[in-house]
């Protein structure tokens, strides 16, 4: 969650697991868009000596649909290569890494960036260096300086970064997957007759103090839009070659054949809590243009039917809506088509009638000086579901949407339950220890393996 371990097969393949995707007009360069794709979920910072890294055998992609057909018109593809300077040591680094080209940085990664448009491909960056993981005060003493050396300006307005960053997505996983027992509202939750007492409590950010691997690219708006169509669709993928076999002589896997998609992510939480378990793996292999196959799960989300049962008497109007079998046009607009003109005064990010799960970003809407973490439902048209910024509270927005808070905008006869506009897992960006930044690549400094959360330094030994 947002798409961490969201499907049975990809949960076994974290290197290819796309966890979050962000798309927003850059606040510090408003003539550009920033696209961020995160992979390798729930990284424990002290996970050495084989610290986390991108897969050399994975093709990572960030895709843009600029004509509304649910197919990629522009793709940014990233291929990584790992280099080891000294294979006769177990160490990731043999001394302090004080520069990205330090000889002490033993196991390092580089990548090539290819832009694919139609049948044409052009490589715009080669042998681009990634920073090390953040290990500790002796190994990475000036981490932000070294990480800054991994920001590459490639010309034509393209800036890229690929490497470890702090997880910015905040979510109370423990409460959500304990039958949606949201802590601020758990006094209203059914106990199923069990001898337990539930009382309201603050949310717990279960992704705090964990890291991800992030691919970030900033490109001119003019490079990803077509005239008269400022709204784009964005999603990310990971692909593996179709055949893998074990090379016994060299003790390693070898891959061959064409690349096949194994992971996909557009809007947060769709494959997590909208698609049923039996469809999740299939969804991960298909392009957004095939999402008509899954539209029924958006129109009739299981969680909407569960909320009135889990919170008895709290969602009577939602219960009646579900019982009537009413299709959720509000969710279809948010997740599958974009919001048409006339629903919200002065706003649209509609890309057309094709049902496709993509983050939809109207690039003509500038960043706001005073953002609201609830985005569009908080009166901030520059935020989710108009794209997604790194600090947007997508969990609260989507839970409220599923609960029916937004439905009156498209169905004037429906009255949302009072709780629909209040329900939340109780978290904010303040729940993240390493805050996001206002400049590229926007995600915060990754947590160090040496500095464990809430650790009290021990007293020095007495000799």
Global pTM value: 0.95
Mean pLDDT score, 372-379: 97
- pLDDT value at residue 432: 96
Q: What's the chain's length in residues?
A: 463
More confidently predicted of 91 and 453: 91
Q: Is 463 helix (H, G, I), strand (E, B) or coil?
A: coil
Across the chain, what does the average pLDDT equal?
Answer: 94
Banded pLDDT at 1 (limits 50, 70, 90): very low
Q: What is the pLDDT of residues 283-338, one digit of tens each?
A: 999 999 999 999 999 999 999 999 999 999 999 999 999 999 999 999 999 999 99
Query: Confidence band (pLDDT; 50, 70, 90) for 2?
Result: low
| pLDDT for the residue numbered 462 | 56
Q: What is the pLDDT of residues 140-183, one digit of tens each?
A: 999 999 999 999 999 999 999 999 999 999 999 999 999 999 99
pLDDT category of residue 253 using cuts at 50, 70 and 90 = confident
The DSSP secondary structure of 359-383, one letter per residue, reads EEEETTSPPPSS--TTGGGGT-TTS
Number of H helices and E strands in the chain, helices first, is 8, 12
CA distances from 337 to 236, 304, 382 (A): 17, 20, 18
Q: What is the pLDDT of residue 459?
A: 55
Tokens of 443: 């995600």
Residue with the larger pLDDT of the pair 80 and 455: 80
Residue 460 is predicted with a pLDDT of 57
Nearest to 81 by CA among 51, 44, 50, 112: 112
Task: Provide the phi-psi class of 294: left if phi over 0, else alpha when psi is between -120 and 50, else beta.
Answer: alpha
- Please report the DSSP string for 85-104 in residue order: S-TT---SBSS---STT-TT
> DSSP state, 144?
H
pLDDT at 84 over 80: yes
Q: Encode pLDDT of 37-48 as tens digits.
A: 999 999 999 999
Answer whether residue 439 shows pLDDT above 60: yes
Q: How far is CA 40 from CA 18, 129, 168, 389, 447, in A?
A: 7, 19, 14, 20, 15
At 61, phi and psi to the nearest 5?
Answer: -140, 145
φ, ψ dihedrals at 220, nearest 5°: -60, 140
Quick one: which of 173, 204, 166 has its CA closest to 44?
A: 166
Judge whether residue 409 has pLDDT over 70.
yes
Residue range 420-443: average pLDDT?
Answer: 96
Q: DSSP assignment, residue 285? A: H
Which tokens belong to 211? 């890291």
């Amino acid at each position: 969650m947002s798409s961490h371990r969201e499907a049975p097969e990809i949960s076994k393949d974290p290197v290819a697991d796309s966890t979050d995707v962000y798309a927003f007009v850059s606040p510090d360069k408003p003539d550009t868009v920033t696209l961020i794709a995160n992979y390798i979920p729930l990284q424990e910072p002290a996970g050495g000596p084989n610290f986390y890294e991108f897969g050399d055998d994975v093709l990572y992609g960030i895709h843009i649909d600029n004509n509304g057909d649910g197919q990629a018109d522009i793709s940014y593809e990233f291929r990584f290569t790992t280099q080891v300077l000294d294979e006769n040591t177990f160490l990731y680094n043999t001394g302090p890494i004080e520069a990205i080209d330090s000889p002490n940085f033993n196991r390092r990664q580089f990548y090539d960036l290819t832009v694919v448009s139609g049948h044409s491909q052009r490589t715009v960056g080669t042998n681009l260096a990634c920073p090390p993981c953040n290990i500790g005060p002796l190994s990475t003493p000036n981490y932000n300086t070294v990480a800054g050396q991994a920001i590459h300006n490639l010309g034509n307005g393209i800036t890229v970064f690929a490497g470890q960053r702090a997880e910015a997505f905040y979510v109370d996983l423990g409460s959500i997957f304990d039958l949606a027992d949201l802590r601020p509202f758990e006094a209203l939750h059914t106990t199923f007759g069990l001898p337990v007492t539930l009382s309201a409590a603050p949310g717990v950010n279960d992704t705090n103090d964990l890291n991800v691997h992030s691919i970030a690219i900033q490109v001119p708006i003019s490079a990803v839009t077509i005239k008269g169509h400022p709204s784009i669709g964005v999603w990310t993928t990971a692909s593996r070659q179709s055949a893998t076999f074990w090379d016994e002589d060299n003790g390693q896997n070898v891959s061959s054949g064409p690349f096949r998609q194994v992971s996909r992510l557009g809007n947060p939480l769709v494959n997590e809590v909208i698609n049923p378990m039996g469809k999740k793996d299939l969804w991960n292999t298909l392009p957004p243009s095939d999402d008509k196959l899954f539209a029924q799960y958006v129109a009739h989300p299981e969680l909407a039917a569960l909320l009135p049962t889990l919170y008895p008497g709290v969602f009577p109007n939602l219960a009646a809506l579900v019982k009537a079998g009413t299709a959720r046009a509000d969710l279809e607009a948010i997740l599958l088509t974009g919001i048409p003109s006339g629903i919200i005064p002065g706003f649209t990010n509609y890309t057309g009638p094709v049902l496709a799960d993509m983050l939809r970003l109207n690039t003509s809407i500038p960043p706001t000086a005073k953002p609201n973490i609830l985005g569009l439902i908080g009166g901030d048209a520059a935020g989710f579901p108009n794209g997604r910024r790194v600090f947007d509270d997508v969990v609260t927005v989507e839970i409220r949407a599923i609960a029916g808070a937004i439905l009156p905008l498209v169905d004037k006869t429906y009255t949302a339950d009072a709780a629909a506009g209040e329900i939340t897992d109780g978290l904010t960006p303040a729940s993240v220890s390493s805050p996001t930044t206002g400049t590229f690549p926007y995600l915060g400094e990754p947590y160090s393996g040496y500095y464990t959360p809430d650790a009290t330094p021990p007293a020095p030994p007495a000799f």
